[in-house]
Structure 1
Amino acid sequence: MKLASILTARAVALIDIDEFNIKGAIRFADLVPVIARQFNFLIVPSKVEDFDLEKGVFFGSGKVGEKVIDVLKIFPHSITIECLSSTDDSKAALEEILSWGREELGLSYTDGMIQRWGYISQITFYCDFPLLNAISAPLLNLARKTGKAVDSIFEEGIEYEVAKVNVGHDPLMRKNGIAGITIEHRANVQFGDNKFFSEAPLPTSLHIKFLEEFEAEVMRANK
């Protein structure tokens, strides 16, 4: 497996943001220009409707040290941050922003205050063989039979392959579902290039580790 790109490295701090303003002395609108200036955000909320927390208050294209922040979005019960490198960097960047906010703005933030985090990792990668076709002989047989049947109808010689796998939980087991892990051919790239897209509700490093292990297991099963 060869990593091609990290498309999304999202960390989500699951916490009521009112906990950062226990004294009630901070007005959100006053923070915007200070945060924008400190972290070089090029996109900031400016209109009244931009401050609707239910929709998310959005900051875009900023920096914390050498870390580029693609998205910072604040909701009533969570803060989402996306760096362009890894979920670890995203998490560290938000903690750095909050620590700075404690010292400079009077936020009621303490280290380790955020106990629960969520993640979304999206990456693209190359494989040396047709990974999805190699997962399961029955799936590949189904694809081939389907291709022949469709060809008899449309007479276009289109071959079917295994295009996507998705591993997830029973949606009825949880009120708010958690994303599964998916592997599929990269959009707008020919299947024969063996370039894939994958999404997972995992830290970036663990996502990549699981994909590497999966690729190795598929290779062993096909020897």
Structure 2
Amino acid sequence: DATFGHGLVNLVSAFAELDVMFPKIISASLATEGRIGALAVGTASTSSATTTSQWYRCTAPGDATSSKPANCTAIANAVATSYKSTIKDLRKFLRYSVTIASGVNNSILSTTFSATAIPESGAWISTSTLESKTKTPLGKLLRSPSKGLRTFRVVGGSCKLRKSALIAPAFPGVCKLKISIAAKAPFPKLGFTAIITFS
């Protein structure tokens, strides 16, 4: 025929043409720091030359799938291969999806959704490892786009708080630091317990 030729079949060309007509999405994945304001990057492995992207905001983690999870909502205008998270994504899970069109007149649409496991956080520490006998300013240790009042409390380990700084012990160990950030629009109250290892 017009696609595959007449007479003897060239299997290499035939399968190559089929791959163009009916490309397969192998997988979709994303890389995210899980931090508000950071850039998440989506990737897809597919034989299709043309793909469309869409980011989703989900209320729970989940495995990769070929059908839209019920707990996910498409993010308006988030159709690039990268996405910068916003306050709307706080404590939500991002998913990256890829759709390809194949078949006659691109009549067949296939979509795959990446797995998601990391919620987007509004507060985090810049490092979880520090050297013994050091003094680290709390403003340097805690990272958050929220402007709420910050409070710190040692709940475990031998580290100390002194003059807005974390004082490391003189020997290796672990410190548990409870961190709270008061609510201040547009952010709600934030808080978590950080585990810091001293070497």
Larger fraction in helix: 1
Tell me the TM-score normalised to structure 1 length: 0.27
Larger fraction in strand: 2
Which of these two proteins has the greater Rg computed from alpha carbons? Answer: 2
Q: Which has the higher contact order (CA 8 A, sep 6+)?
A: 1
